[in-house]
Structure 1
Amino acid sequence: MLDKSKVRQSFSVACLSYDAVAELQRTVGRELLGRIAADKLTGTVLDIGCGTGFLTAELLAWTGSKYMLALDIALPMLQTTRSKLVDASNVTYLCADAELLPLANHAVDHVFSNLALQWCENLKAVFTDIRRILKPGGQLVFSTFGPHTLHELKGAWATVDDYSHVNEFYSQEQLDCFLKKAGFRQIKIESTLHRPVYGSVQALMRELKHIGAHNVTAGRNRRITTKTQMQSMITAYDAYSIQGRIPATFEVIMITAQA
């Protein structure tokens, strides 16, 4: 179970460091854009979990008449996006939870979300709400993390204690089921593995913190991790090292679906 207050706090703190380390997010965002036809991107477009505005800016740069809605749960993230797009007159900024969309029925033509919906607890309800705000025939295009994400880190921590140190993510099968129950059709799902490498486990942990993606589950250890526990985890993680470099797996699931 996710602690939503921790999600909001985590991304609020990360707003200043996010852009410097969010290479995976940008790579996935570009791949996400490749799944739509530019000439069909018209009307009202909602970017859920806009973060610091990378995808919002990319969508605005595409030709065609459109009205953007940039939504994020963390106000500092939203303010960062607004400062980057200060000259854009066709953007409205919404500080809101993706699980409580403040929009009317059939108000949106397209919904995009890049590596943000994994921070939602009840995705079945989220998809039902997105289906509600989409116009008939409207499109949902999003990416999220899959269950193989950070399996090395999860395995290393499992040698130390039984607490949850890594967030849990839904599988392709679960996402497909949720979307169908919400009334979506023409669902296309693709999963890819990204395996960036790091100079050390500490470097990986710092990056996760800087992008606000560290553990926010309610089942996490609420006590301060000791130096001994941290060193035990690092030693266990070394078993995954490749030529002195530390790999980390990110399973990225990309989905397009029609309302």
Structure 2
Amino acid sequence: MMAQSTYKERVAKQFSKHAQHYDDIAQIQLEIGFDAVQQIHQSGGLALDIGSGTGRLTSLLCNHFDQVIGVDISSGMVSFAQQKYAQAKHLQFIHGDAEALPVDENSVDFVFSSMTLQWCNPLNKSLCEVMRVLRPGGQALLVIMGQNSMHELRSSWADIDPHPRVNQFATPMHLLEQAREAGFTVDVEQKNYVSWHADISHLLNSIRQVGASSVSNNHPGQPLTRHRLMQLASVYSEKFASNGQLPLTYNLIYLTLTKDL
């Protein structure tokens, strides 16, 4: 099995590769993030965005908080955000790992993260870091891809290949248990978003372009050839196509965490 550090490096490189164009191609991810920001009711103090990417969502947190820090493992994303928001007051971006946040303990009032922490496996280290940096009474909203994400792709691959070519994501119960073990009071909700694609190549490219194509397991099955892609396209279309379009579901788990006083 791939070492976790190597896997995270691959994820970071994937996101760095697409930093310049990420906001143009990551429409479903931005939609999910914008909706999540609308759920924030806290205001004032210091907020931390884990997996800040291009900074587009991070900048919106400035409407709620006095100071905002974005942290991302992708150096390319951090550089892009620093340049884009160089003139923004009370907003800064730092290169860092969710499992070792470059922030002092008991210093943050609110932690936000959208579609990032699914790459941290297991999640307990990141949750302990969120607990460490939050002030007593502080809260977090973590939006994490769940077990049923990309279920269409997983199901289609399963019909032609016994070895998974899609990342396995956590169940709501597993995330709930890990958050409680970290010491949080937890509320859990779920919501599905669906993106639609003209063909299998467009669908797979949409995953690659947003840096989400790194699979955390080595694949022992057959190589990904043109013939295999044609097989996948046929199965996917037969099982899931609607009005000539292929759906791809993102199952989001919303963890609302509170660090008790």
Same fold (TM over 0.5): yes
* Structure 2 residue aligned with 1:7: 11
Deviation at residue 53 of structure 1 after TM alignment: 0.9
Deviation at residue 215 of structure 1 after TM alignment: 3.2
CA distance in 1, matches of 2:77, 2:189: 28
Is 1:147 aligned with 2:147?
yes
Residue-by-residue CA offset, 1:22-45 (whole Å, 9 max, x unaligned): 1222221222122222xx322111
* Structure 1 residue aligned with 2:71: 71
1:155-174 matches, within 5 Å, as 155-174=155-174
* Structure 2 residue aligned with 1:247: 247
**Partner secondary structure for residue 248 of structure 1:** strand
Runs of 4 or more off by more than 6 Å in structure 1? none
Taking a change above 3 Å as real, the CA distance of residues 257 and 63 of structure 1, as seen in their structure-2 partners, is: closer
TM score, norm. by length of structure 2: 0.91
Is 1:107 aligned with 2:111?
no
Q: How many residues end up aligned between the 2 structures? A: 254
TM score, norm. by length of structure 1: 0.92
CA distance in 1, matches of 2:258, 2:199: 42
Residue-by-residue CA offset, 1:144-177 (whole Å, 9 max, x unaligned): 1111111111111122323331111111111111
Give, as a single letter, the amino acid of the residue that structure 1 aligns with 2:129. D
Q: Does the CA-based 8 Å contact 1:191-1:251 persist in structure 2? A: yes
1:85-124 matches, within 5 Å, as 85-124=85-124
RMSD: 1.7
Deviation at residue 205 of structure 1 after TM alignment: 0.8
Is 1:238 aligned with 2:228?
no
CA distance in 2, matches of 1:244, 1:30: 28
**Structure 1 unaligned residues grouped into runs of 5+:** none
Residue-by-residue CA offset, 1:116-168 (whole Å, 9 max, x unaligned): 11111121121112101110000111211111111111111122323331111
Deviation at residue 219 of structure 1 after TM alignment: 2.6
**Partner secondary structure for residue 104 of structure 2:** coil
**Partner secondary structure for residue 218 of structure 1:** coil
CA distance in 2, matches of 1:160, 1:63: 48
CA distance in 2, matches of 1:42, 1:118: 28
